[in-house]
Structure 1
Amino acid sequence: MKVQKGNTVKLHYKGTLNDGTVFDSSEGREPLEFTAGAGQVIPGFDKAVMDMEVGEKKTFTIPAEEAYGEYSEEKVFELPRQSFPPNIDEAVGQTVQLADQSGNVFLAKILEVTDEMVKMDTNHPLAGKDLTFEIEIVEIN
């Protein structure tokens, strides 16, 4: 049986950056499970598993635009300092959870804090990066 759109797929994976840094892996955990072609994983990953069989292994690289998108300066912005708790300056480099006026929750990395403003980056941490995966199909339903 080969993976087709709509199949439930279980696989083990290791994700690395161009420099070899491992950013995620299923090693020591349950396999990743998702519905093929349903948009539950990044687009390039969905494409790569199609027509694979149980036990088959594959290594592939997903360009940034088919992964978490290109890095966008438009997603870096400044907010007034007074809208944050007093200890925010201790959080430079940290990722915090914010909500917009519509209640949508998103993550932002704090880049800089001054007396007047907090500079934040809402790009995904892997935005702008090509991702290489080694995968092995464990089960197809």
Structure 2
Amino acid sequence: MSDSVQRDSAVLVHFVLKLEDGSTAESTRNNGKPALFRLGDGSLSDGLEAQLVGLRVGDKTSFPLAPDAAFGQTSPDLIQYFSRRDFVAAGEPEIGAIMLFTAMDGSEMPGVIREISGDSITVDFNHPLSGQTVHFEVEVLEIDPDLEAPDANTVS
């Protein structure tokens, strides 16, 4: 176990993710359940990982991440137009609703209903926080935590 976060560490953290207007988009403190991330597995942006590397247990830090270092820029290629008849089985969509769509490869992708105009429905497949600078507050709780159940024969 390392005494600081490395590029391949698993790290247990509490974090608060805030938008530029100061509103909280997500917080592990609200539900009292810290998040476990593994650096290098592709689940975190390179920018976020770079901020975590070198931190130690007990460290608290806050930092902004520009769109390119966080959730990416908004891509017009990820805005798609559908016909209302494509939604017959799912029911009438509402603006702002997040729906799951099945991609050609069978995977599911969330899309946000952005506009309904006549027979046309606009769906945005960009990450909801794309194009935004976000602010993280992070507290490192554990580095490479033991994820195995404790051995019943171990005496403490």
**Pairing 1:140–2:143 present:** yes
- Output aligned runs, 1:24-103, within 5 Å: 24-27=26-29, 28-85=31-88, 87-89=91-93, 91-103=94-106
For these two proteins, the number of residue pairs brought into alignment is 140
* Offset from partner CA, 1:76-130 (integer Å, 9 cap, x none): 12112222117425x2221111112221211111122244221111111100011
Cα distance in 1 for partners of 2:139, 2:11 equals 11
Structure 1 segments unaligned to the other structure (5+ residues): none
Structure 2 segments unaligned to the other structure (5+ residues): 145-156
| Corresponding position of 1:106 | 109
| Corresponding position of 1:14 | 16
Cα distance in 1 for partners of 2:139, 2:96 equals 35
| Corresponding position of 2:152 | none
Q: Give the structure with higher Rg (CA).
A: 2
Cα distance in 1 for partners of 2:48, 2:111 equals 25
SS at match of 2:92: helix
Cα distance in 2 for partners of 1:35, 1:112 equals 37
Cα distance in 1 for partners of 2:106, 2:39 equals 30
* RMSD between superposed Cα atoms in Å: 1.6
Q: Structure 1's 102 and 40: CA in aligned 2 closer, same or farther, altered over 3 A?
A: closer
Letter in 2 for 1:8: A
| Paired-residue identity, % | 26
What is the TM-score of this pair, normalised by structure 1? 0.90
| Corresponding position of 2:128 | 125
The question of whether the paired residues in 2 share the 8 Å contact of 1:88 and 1:113 is answered with: no
| Corresponding position of 2:147 | none
Q: CA deviation at 1:57?
A: 0.9
What is the TM-score of this pair, normalised by structure 2? 0.82
